Amino acid sequence: MRCEVIAVGTELLLGQIVDTNSSWIGEQLALAGIDTHYQTKVGDNTDRIAASIELALSRSDAIIMCGGLGPTQDDITRDVIAAVMGVELVRDDMIAERIRAMFETRGRKMPQNNLRQADVPEGVSTIAQMPGTAPGLVCPVGDQVIYAVPGVPSEMRTMMKGTIIPDLQARSGETAVIGSRVLRTWGHSESGLAEMLGPRIAELDEGGHATLAFLASGAEGLKVRVTAKAEDDAALLAILDAEEILLRDVLGDLVFGLDDDTMESVTLQLLADKDMTLGVFEQATGGYLSSRLAGQAASDTVFLGSLIAGNPALADQLIGGGPADPEEAADLYAEAARSQLGADVGLAVGAATPGDRGGLNVAVAWVMGDRGKSWSLSLPGDLDRMRQFSGITLLNDLRLHLT
């Protein structure tokens, strides 16, 4: 079963919106065992959309079209699909009533042009999941099929999970279970991890039951994804468990979490397990680290708060003076976070200064009990990159100490 993705919208071509939908759809298709060899972006033009559909039908068994199902004049996906199928658009009264009801529950009057969304190509079925006013479509074209879903990510994902993926699997006759597990790492490059795992990758390439892939994800860490196929869920879980053990044996402390874990969630949970609290001092990062910490489940009981001093004079005032050495200052900032916030552990990110070869230098520190550490980081890139990488590196060092 080969499935192609067509993302519709001139705004995608102009770079006004980043097409994250196609990448997510591609990932879901891979996990479902559905091959996808092509992804296309096309603007809101009838002839070009039709040409994209015809080309996709010439080389794929199924098409997922994303976008162009709204109520405005440039939302023409349904019209083009009808033309390709050689049928007329017909009004689906049940869909029209659902759209009216959505507006009524919000206390708003429905614009008449929203009824365009209830016009569907003759002979198609609508997708049962309908979170918004745009219905998804399942359009048979001989032995092939075109699925049309809205461009709103949450609506698209609901339809993909609820109808499209199961329907594709049924059409393909695929009965195997496919799943993945992601090991999140920090502290090594992608090429370095690939070298460390080279022997295992070679073994799997020669006839293993799983595959490994790498994905550099900035402050989210470098991900190592294990994907496997098995006859049922139990067999799949056994394969993923075995591969995780092998990978952890090789990567050791580089692995900080799994799947949806973040460095913040893992570090806060380690502190929660030890019944310890955390305070943070930020200068160069301007609250970035605190914001990420505050969004975690354990933050209510562990993360007490932060001192944010964008102005160097205020930072000096909070520690009672201004030491010349950046690492000494970071030590004092970490102690200020701990003592002034009444925390067990203090973290600090000091001021940033230009690096010798571009990039930025920044001093960081942590303090816990009678132990502490401060050091300077030399980070490439701009201020945003420095904010991300200094915070995650500081948390990772604390994590390693806690474990």
All domains in the chain, ordered by first residue:
3-172 (3.40.980.10), 177-258 (3.30.70.2860), 263-402 (3.90.950.20)
pTM for this entry: 0.72
Mean pLDDT across the chain: 90
pLDDT of residue 377: 85
Report the alpha-carbon angle 33-81-91, nearest 5.
115
Lowest mean pLDDT among 24-28, 85-89, 284-288: 284-288
The stretch 271-278 carries a mean pLDDT of 94
The position carrying tokens 């339809």 is 159
Q: What is the pLDDT of residue 324?
A: 66
**Cα–Cα dist 260/82, whole Å:** 41
The pLDDT of 45-67, averaged and rounded, is 97
> Would you state the pLDDT for residue 312?
75
Q: Is 217 exposed, middle or buried (0-12, 13-18, 19+ CB in 10 A)?
A: exposed
Compute the distance between CA of residue 319 and CA of residue 283 in angstroms, rounded to an integer.
12
Beta partners for residue 180, in sequence order: 227
Plot region of 359 (φ>0 → left; ψ -120 to 50 → alpha; else → beta): left
**Alpha-carbon span 246 to 38, nearest angstrom:** 34
Contact assessment for residue 34 and residue 172, using Cβ atoms and an 8 Å cutoff: yes
- 377 bridge partner residues: 362
Return the structure tokens found at 252. 């050791």
Please give the backbone phi and psi of residue 320, each rounded to the nearest 5 degrees, phi first: 75, 25
Mean pLDDT calculated for residue range 315-327? 74
Q: What is the rounded distance in angstroms from the CA atom of residue 94 to the CA atom of residue 178?
A: 36
Q: Tell which wins on pLDDT, 381 or 255.
A: 255
Say if residues 63 and 3 touch (Cβ distance below 8 Å): yes
Q: What is the DSSP letter of 289?
A: H
Nearest alpha-carbon partner for 383 in 358, 403, 366: 358
344 or 297: whose pLDDT is higher?
344
Specify whether the CB–CB gap between 3 and 160 falls below 8 A. Answer: no
CA distance 269 to 143: 52
E strand or H helix that includes residue 326: helix 326-341
354 — pLDDT class (breaks 50, 70, 90): confident
Angle at 188 between CA 185 and CA 192, to 5 degrees: 115
Q: Does residue 302 surpass a pLDDT of 80?
A: yes
- Residue 278 above 90 pLDDT? yes
Residue 266 has pLDDT above 90, yes or no: yes
Could you tell me the CA-to-CA distances from 202 to 76, 205, 208 in Å, in that order?
Answer: 48, 5, 9
pLDDT tens per residue across span 173-185? 876 778 889 999 9
d(CA 271, CA 95): 51
pLDDT value at residue 140: 96
How far apart (Å, rounded) are the C-alpha atoms in residues 48 and 279? 56
Q: Is the pLDDT of residue 322 over 70?
A: no
* Burial zone of 146 (CB within 10 Å; 0-12 exposed, 13-18 middle, 19+ buried): buried
pLDDT for residue 279 is more than 90: yes
Find the mean pLDDT for residues 246-255.
95
**What residues have CB less than 8 Å from 162, skipping those under 6 apart?**
127, 128, 129
Q: How far apart are CA 140 and CA 351, in angstroms?
A: 61
pLDDT at residue 128 greater than cutoff 80: yes
The helix (H) or strand (E) run that includes residue 379 is strand 371-379
